[in-house]
Amino acid sequence: MSKKYTGWIAILVIVSIVIIDQVSKIWVKTSMSLLETIEITSWFKIYFIENNGMAFGMEIINKLFLTIFRIVAIGFIGYFLHFLVKKKYPVGYIVFVALIWAGAFGNIIDCVFYGEIFSASYPGHVASFVPIGEGYSSWMHGKVVDMLYFPLFEGHFPEWFPVNGGEKFIFFSPIFNIADSAITVGIFVILLFYRKTLLASLESKKND
Protein backbone atom coordinates (compact mmCIF):
# COMPACT_ATOMS: atom_id res chain seq x y z
CA MET A 1 0.00 0.00 0.00
CA SER A 2 1.32 3.46 -0.90
CA LYS A 3 2.52 5.97 1.65
CA LYS A 4 -0.37 8.25 0.68
CA TYR A 5 -3.10 5.76 1.54
CA THR A 6 -1.33 4.48 4.65
CA GLY A 7 -1.01 8.05 5.85
CA TRP A 8 -4.69 8.71 5.27
CA ILE A 9 -5.63 5.56 7.18
CA ALA A 10 -3.53 6.73 10.14
CA ILE A 11 -5.17 10.17 9.99
CA LEU A 12 -8.65 8.60 9.82
CA VAL A 13 -7.92 6.48 12.90
CA ILE A 14 -6.59 9.48 14.83
CA VAL A 15 -9.44 11.82 13.90
CA SER A 16 -12.08 9.18 14.64
CA ILE A 17 -10.71 8.33 18.09
CA VAL A 18 -10.20 11.97 19.10
CA ILE A 19 -13.73 12.95 18.00
CA ILE A 20 -15.39 9.99 19.75
CA ASP A 21 -13.31 10.60 22.87
CA GLN A 22 -14.05 14.31 23.06
CA VAL A 23 -17.75 14.00 22.23
CA SER A 24 -18.18 11.42 24.99
CA LYS A 25 -16.26 13.56 27.51
CA ILE A 26 -18.08 16.78 26.67
CA TRP A 27 -21.45 15.01 26.88
CA VAL A 28 -20.62 13.57 30.29
CA LYS A 29 -19.12 16.84 31.54
CA THR A 30 -22.17 18.91 30.53
CA SER A 31 -24.88 16.32 31.29
CA MET A 32 -23.82 14.66 34.55
CA SER A 33 -22.74 15.87 37.95
CA LEU A 34 -19.54 14.53 39.45
CA LEU A 35 -19.93 10.94 40.75
CA GLU A 36 -23.30 10.56 39.04
CA THR A 37 -23.91 7.08 37.63
CA ILE A 38 -25.98 5.80 34.72
CA GLU A 39 -26.44 2.04 34.85
CA ILE A 40 -26.40 0.47 31.39
CA THR A 41 -26.21 -3.11 32.67
CA SER A 42 -25.20 -4.67 36.00
CA TRP A 43 -21.64 -4.93 34.68
CA PHE A 44 -21.37 -1.67 32.69
CA LYS A 45 -22.01 1.82 34.02
CA ILE A 46 -21.34 5.40 32.99
CA TYR A 47 -19.76 6.77 36.16
CA PHE A 48 -18.46 10.34 35.94
CA ILE A 49 -15.20 11.10 37.70
CA GLU A 50 -12.28 13.43 37.01
CA ASN A 51 -8.62 12.86 37.76
CA ASN A 52 -5.32 14.72 37.66
CA GLY A 53 -3.27 11.67 36.86
CA MET A 54 -2.47 9.11 34.25
CA ALA A 55 -4.57 6.40 32.61
CA PHE A 56 -7.25 4.69 34.71
CA GLY A 57 -7.20 7.43 37.34
CA MET A 58 -3.70 6.88 38.71
CA GLU A 59 -2.15 9.95 40.36
CA ILE A 60 1.56 9.61 40.94
CA ILE A 61 3.32 12.77 39.73
CA ASN A 62 2.87 16.56 39.59
CA LYS A 63 0.03 17.73 37.30
CA LEU A 64 1.99 20.34 35.33
CA PHE A 65 4.92 17.96 34.87
CA LEU A 66 2.53 15.25 33.69
CA THR A 67 0.90 17.56 31.14
CA ILE A 68 4.26 18.68 29.75
CA PHE A 69 5.44 15.07 29.66
CA ARG A 70 2.33 14.12 27.69
CA ILE A 71 2.90 16.92 25.18
CA VAL A 72 6.52 15.87 24.67
CA ALA A 73 5.44 12.22 24.38
CA ILE A 74 2.86 12.87 21.65
CA GLY A 75 5.51 14.89 19.80
CA PHE A 76 7.85 11.90 19.79
CA ILE A 77 5.09 9.43 18.93
CA GLY A 78 3.86 11.67 16.10
CA TYR A 79 7.37 11.95 14.68
CA PHE A 80 7.80 8.18 14.95
CA LEU A 81 4.43 7.59 13.26
CA HIS A 82 5.48 9.81 10.36
CA PHE A 83 8.67 7.77 10.05
CA LEU A 84 6.68 4.51 9.93
CA VAL A 85 4.42 5.80 7.17
CA LYS A 86 7.39 7.11 5.18
CA LYS A 87 9.20 3.77 5.45
CA LYS A 88 6.05 1.80 4.51
CA TYR A 89 5.78 -0.34 7.62
CA PRO A 90 2.77 -2.73 7.84
CA VAL A 91 -0.57 -0.93 7.92
CA GLY A 92 -1.73 -2.86 11.00
CA TYR A 93 1.32 -1.76 12.96
CA ILE A 94 0.83 1.86 11.90
CA VAL A 95 -2.85 1.75 12.87
CA PHE A 96 -2.06 0.66 16.42
CA VAL A 97 0.69 3.26 16.82
CA ALA A 98 -1.89 5.79 15.59
CA LEU A 99 -4.30 4.53 18.29
CA ILE A 100 -1.68 5.26 20.96
CA TRP A 101 -1.06 8.75 19.56
CA ALA A 102 -4.79 9.51 19.35
CA GLY A 103 -5.40 8.36 22.91
CA ALA A 104 -2.54 10.44 24.26
CA PHE A 105 -3.74 13.48 22.31
CA GLY A 106 -7.31 13.02 23.53
CA ASN A 107 -6.25 13.21 27.17
CA ILE A 108 -3.93 16.13 26.42
CA ILE A 109 -6.95 18.16 25.27
CA ASP A 110 -8.53 17.72 28.70
CA CYS A 111 -5.34 18.67 30.53
CA VAL A 112 -4.58 21.76 28.47
CA PHE A 113 -8.03 23.24 27.79
CA TYR A 114 -10.76 21.92 30.09
CA GLY A 115 -9.74 23.99 33.10
CA GLU A 116 -10.19 27.18 31.09
CA ILE A 117 -13.42 26.41 29.20
CA PHE A 118 -15.56 24.53 31.75
CA SER A 119 -16.98 25.44 35.13
CA ALA A 120 -16.26 23.02 37.96
CA SER A 121 -18.04 19.69 38.27
CA TYR A 122 -19.04 18.52 41.72
CA PRO A 123 -21.74 16.28 43.22
CA GLY A 124 -25.20 17.71 42.51
CA HIS A 125 -23.91 20.27 40.00
CA VAL A 126 -23.52 19.87 36.22
CA ALA A 127 -20.72 21.88 34.60
CA SER A 128 -21.13 24.12 31.57
CA PHE A 129 -19.00 25.92 29.04
CA VAL A 130 -17.73 29.29 30.26
CA PRO A 131 -15.78 32.16 28.64
CA ILE A 132 -12.06 31.46 28.43
CA GLY A 133 -10.42 32.41 31.69
CA GLU A 134 -13.50 31.82 33.84
CA GLY A 135 -13.10 28.08 34.17
CA TYR A 136 -12.31 25.96 37.21
CA SER A 137 -8.53 26.03 36.65
CA SER A 138 -5.77 27.39 34.43
CA TRP A 139 -4.15 26.26 31.19
CA MET A 140 -2.31 22.93 31.55
CA HIS A 141 -4.12 22.11 34.80
CA GLY A 142 -7.39 20.68 33.51
CA LYS A 143 -8.73 17.39 34.83
CA VAL A 144 -9.21 14.33 32.64
CA VAL A 145 -12.81 13.15 32.32
CA ASP A 146 -13.37 9.42 32.90
CA MET A 147 -16.66 7.57 32.67
CA LEU A 148 -16.40 3.93 31.53
CA TYR A 149 -16.85 1.57 34.46
CA PHE A 150 -17.05 -2.22 34.19
CA PRO A 151 -17.68 -3.79 37.64
CA LEU A 152 -17.85 -7.29 36.17
CA PHE A 153 -18.39 -8.95 39.52
CA GLU A 154 -18.05 -8.28 43.25
CA GLY A 155 -17.01 -10.47 46.12
CA HIS A 156 -15.01 -10.67 49.34
CA PHE A 157 -11.46 -11.81 49.93
CA PRO A 158 -11.25 -14.95 52.10
CA GLU A 159 -10.66 -14.22 55.78
CA TRP A 160 -7.28 -15.93 55.58
CA PHE A 161 -6.16 -13.74 52.66
CA PRO A 162 -3.08 -11.59 53.55
CA VAL A 163 -3.69 -7.87 54.21
CA ASN A 164 -7.18 -7.65 52.62
CA GLY A 165 -8.78 -10.68 54.27
CA GLY A 166 -12.57 -10.35 54.50
CA GLU A 167 -12.65 -7.05 52.57
CA LYS A 168 -14.88 -6.45 49.56
CA PHE A 169 -13.36 -6.35 46.06
CA ILE A 170 -14.68 -5.34 42.65
CA PHE A 171 -13.39 -6.74 39.38
CA PHE A 172 -12.81 -4.67 37.19
CA SER A 173 -12.66 -1.44 39.26
CA PRO A 174 -10.73 1.18 37.17
CA ILE A 175 -12.79 3.94 35.54
CA PHE A 176 -11.43 5.15 32.22
CA ASN A 177 -12.27 6.82 28.90
CA ILE A 178 -12.04 6.19 25.16
CA ALA A 179 -8.55 7.71 25.00
CA ASP A 180 -7.28 5.36 27.73
CA SER A 181 -8.82 2.44 25.84
CA ALA A 182 -7.08 3.43 22.59
CA ILE A 183 -3.70 3.65 24.33
CA THR A 184 -4.18 0.32 26.10
CA VAL A 185 -5.37 -1.54 22.99
CA GLY A 186 -2.57 -0.06 20.88
CA ILE A 187 0.17 -1.03 23.34
CA PHE A 188 -1.30 -4.49 24.01
CA VAL A 189 -1.66 -5.44 20.34
CA ILE A 190 1.78 -4.12 19.38
CA LEU A 191 3.46 -6.05 22.19
CA LEU A 192 1.47 -9.17 21.37
CA PHE A 193 1.60 -9.22 17.57
CA TYR A 194 4.12 -6.62 16.41
CA ARG A 195 6.96 -6.97 18.90
CA LYS A 196 9.55 -7.82 16.24
CA THR A 197 8.27 -5.03 14.01
CA LEU A 198 8.51 -2.60 16.92
CA LEU A 199 12.11 -3.57 17.69
CA ALA A 200 13.04 -3.43 14.00
CA SER A 201 11.43 -0.01 13.53
CA LEU A 202 13.12 1.42 16.63
CA GLU A 203 16.49 0.13 15.43
CA SER A 204 15.85 1.49 11.95
CA LYS A 205 14.86 4.88 13.34
CA LYS A 206 17.99 4.91 15.49
CA ASN A 207 20.17 4.33 12.42
CA ASP A 208 18.17 6.60 10.10
| Strand, helix or coil for residue 140 | coil
List the catalytic residues. 146, 180
On the CB side of 142, CA atoms within 13 Å amount to: 25
CA distance 163 to 36: 31
CA distance 38 to 36: 7
CA distance 43 to 23: 23
143, 29 Cβ separation under 8 angstroms: no
